[in-house]
Structures are given as structure tokens and as C-alpha cells.
Amino acid sequence: MPVTTRVLNFSSGPAVLPVSVLEQAQRDLVSLPGVGMSILEISHRSKTFESILQKTDADIRHLAGVPAGYTLLFLQGGASTQFSMVPMNLLPPGGTADYVISGSWGEKAAKEARKVGNVHVAASSQATGFDRIPGEEELSFTPDAAYVHITSNNTIEGTQWKRLPAAAGIPLVSDASSDIFSQPIDVSSYGLIYAGAQKNLGPAGVTLVIVREDLLARSAKTLPTMLNYAVQAENASLYNTPPVFAIYVMGLVVEWLLANGGLPAMAARNERKAARLYAELDRTGFWRPTARPDSRSFMNVTFRLASEDLEKTFVKEATAEGLDGLKGHRSVGGMRASIYNAFPEDGVDALVAFMREFERRNG
């Protein structure tokens, strides 16, 4: 069935999904082949869902090269719930957790961790408006920290880690919500990775957690059951009813990633898209990209114009041209083009063409 008209969706999340995934979900919505019921209707204890969950788990392991000794969890409550679950499970009484704060989501993560225990800010780029990822020389880790938390991609500020911090021996925890599976990832460098699905992985409603199994021993029995990683792992994410539909769509997205060359191909495509957009932003002085060049995100490209009035005009005219979701986060203003995995390359070309035309008229 042909797709009805779609605008170019630059939203930061929930975000654009592959059209083929939407079409398959649509085809199967009334009756899953061979099942006779909708994915929206089947029991989470059914063989069908069990195999969807197992296949999604296996496909993610294949896609990202997840080594043995790591467990995948499919949880609810968004990445924001992980802000609390990480310290509740991994920060023992009297211990200290180190946070590198490179954006407002990292700040929120640290705020929740402070409710649980001691937090040491290993570095922060707040003084310069989170315009960059702190440099290696700025990082000061607690020698026996329980973990080091980073935000691999700062969705609001448009910055991204290019090289992981060297935190010898301390488990690294990464909020990868806005760049998960956008490039190859060495999972063995991490203690725990978490990501809300609604940017690169699927619809809102499921959060992927990849955790090194030895860390599960830290989860105290006194934790609320649903917030206990060890319980979720023992029950294979089926302690209660998981977000069946969101997991099903995530499974389709992961199949799409595998069918389209996996993470190396995604990285090449994402780099091409970002390079095209940043080249345009740097071409004249008209546009004002906000992230420091060495920290620029390949997922969220943030920029400003000379005045807020001009920015408003840009967003309004872009929307009228079918370029949707370009308004920056309300906390920072300006513009943001989110160009996740499923965002098409010719969509970036369309934005660049529109920007040229806008500059011609307003420059």
C-alpha cells in the first residue's frame, strides 16, 4: 500500500521511523500472520510474544556485537526512570558515583542520583552553556567510584562524545538515548548502557538497558521490585506486562538496521548527513552553529540565527514547506535538526536547499 504524504520529520523524539517498519506494523496490525490476533491484543505470555522478545534480544546482540556476560532488559518509565534506577542499583551505601555533565539530561541524571547517594561531578561544561564535551584533561574521577555516568549524545545542546573517557577499572554507564546504534559500539567498554527507544530504536514506551551481569549482584533486595535490575533480569523483562507493541516495533527497527548494512553502514550514512548540514552552517556567517566543532553531534544539529524573530520566521516557513520539528528545545531556543538513523539523506538535502533559499532572502 502506498504511503500517504509524509513531511520531513526533524523531531528530537519521538522521531521518524523507517517507512517500511510503519508499513509492516500497519499490515500486521489487525492480524499477525499465523496468529489471527493483533500484536495489540496478544498475551505477553504467549509463544508469539515470547519469540518476538527473544528475536529482538538476539538481533540486538548480533547488530551491536553484544558480548557474552551482558543482559538486555526491556523496561518502562523512559530514560528518566534510569536516572533513578542506575544509582538505586549500582551505588552502594557510602559509595560515590561520578557524573560527567555535558548537558541538561546529564544534569537531571545527577540530580536523581543525589537523592540516592554521593555524587561527584567529574567534569561539567555548564559554564560555557554545554557547548562541548569536557576534555580528557578536565576529568577528575573518584578512584573507587561505583560508576562513571556520561550522556553519549546531548540531545538538547547538540554535542556528542567522540572518544570514551578513560576511567580505568570504573564501570562506565552511558545514557545513549539519542545516539544508540547510530554507529558501531564496543559494548565491552561499558558497565551499563540505557536508551529510551523513541529516537533511534522505535516508538516511545520501551527503554533498552544493556547491563554487565556482574553488576546485577549490586541490586539490593530491599529495592522496589520493579526498579530492581536483578529481578528484571531473572524474569527476562517479564516480571510484569512489558510494553508489547513498543518492543514489537523495536524488533522491526532492529531488523531494518540489520537489513540496511548494520551499524557501519548507519555510521557512514549518519556522518554524510551531518557533514552536509554542518558544511552549510559553516559556509557563510549567516547561520550560527552552537556546538563547538570538536563536539558536534551527528544526531542533533543545533544552530541559531542573528535574532529570535528571524529564527521564528525560519521555523514557520520551514514547517510550511514540510520541514517539521526544527524548533530547538524550549530551554535553549534556536533550531535543532534531529537526523537519526531513519531520517533520509535526501531530507537533509531538502533542508540545505531550503536554508540556501532562506539565506538568499534574509541574508
Which three cell numbers, joined as nine digits, stand for 203?
A: 516508538
Q: Which residues in the 182-201 window bind ligand PMP by CB under 6 A?
A: 196
DSSP state of 296: B
Q: Is 74 in the site for ligand PMP (CB under 6 A)?
A: no
Shortest distance, position 329 Cβ to ligand PMP, whole Å: 9
| C-beta of 78 vs 262, nearer to ligand PMP | 78
199 noted as active-site residue = yes
Q: For ligand PMP, which stretch binds (CB under 6 A), given 15-23, 73-81, 286-294, 336-344?
A: 73-81
Q: Is 80 in the site for ligand PMP (CB under 6 A)?
A: yes
**What is the C-alpha separation between 198 and 106, in angstroms, rounded?**
18
**What is the C-alpha separation between 173 and 110, in angstroms, rounded?**
12
179 noted as active-site residue = no
Give the residue from 76, 101, 24, 9 showing the smallest Cα distance to 347. Answer: 9
Q: Which residues in the 132-151 window bind ligand PMP by CB under 6 A?
A: 151
Figure out which of the listed residues 159, 178, 182, 295 binds ligand PMP, where binding follows CB under 6 A. 178
**What is the C-alpha separation between 124 and 122, in angstroms, rounded?**
7
Q: Is 205 in the site for ligand PMP (CB under 6 A)?
A: no
Which three cell numbers, joined as nine digits, stand for 246?
A: 513498543
| C-beta of 57 vs 175, nearer to ligand PMP | 175
Figure out which of the listed residues 16, 64, 66, 79 binds ligand PMP, where binding follows CB under 6 A. 79
Shortest distance, position 353 Cβ to ligand PMP, whole Å: 28
Q: Is 302 in the site for ligand PMP (CB under 6 A)?
A: no
Shortest distance, position 77 Cβ to ligand PMP, whole Å: 7
**What is the C-alpha separation between 14 and 352, in angstroms, rounded?**
23
Q: For ligand PMP, which stretch binds (CB under 6 A), given 72-80, 111-119, 210-218, 310-318?
A: 72-80
Residue nearest to ligand PMP (CB): 78
**What is the C-alpha separation between 90 and 217, in angstroms, rounded?**
9
Contacts of 41 (CB under 8 A, 6+ apart): none
105-124 footprint of ligand PMP as x/- string (CB under 6 A): x-------------------
Task: Report the first-to-last Cα separation within the chain, whole angstroms.
Answer: 43
Q: How many CB atoms are closer than 10 A to CB 34?
A: 6
Give the residue from 87, 216, 207, 198 showing the smallest Cα distance to 148. Answer: 87
Residue in 59, 199, 273, 287 annotated catalytic: 199
Residue in 59, 98, 105, 131 annotated catalytic: 105
105 noted as active-site residue = yes
Which helix or strand (DSSP H or E) is residue 212 part of?
strand 207-212
Contacts of 312 (CB under 8 A, 6+ apart): none
Q: Is 14 in the site for ligand PMP (CB under 6 A)?
A: no
Which three cell numbers, joined as nine digits, stand for 242?
A: 512489558
Given the rule CB under 6 A, which residues bind ligand PMP?
13, 78-80, 105, 151, 155, 175, 177-178, 196
The residues carrying an active-site annotation are 105, 175, 199
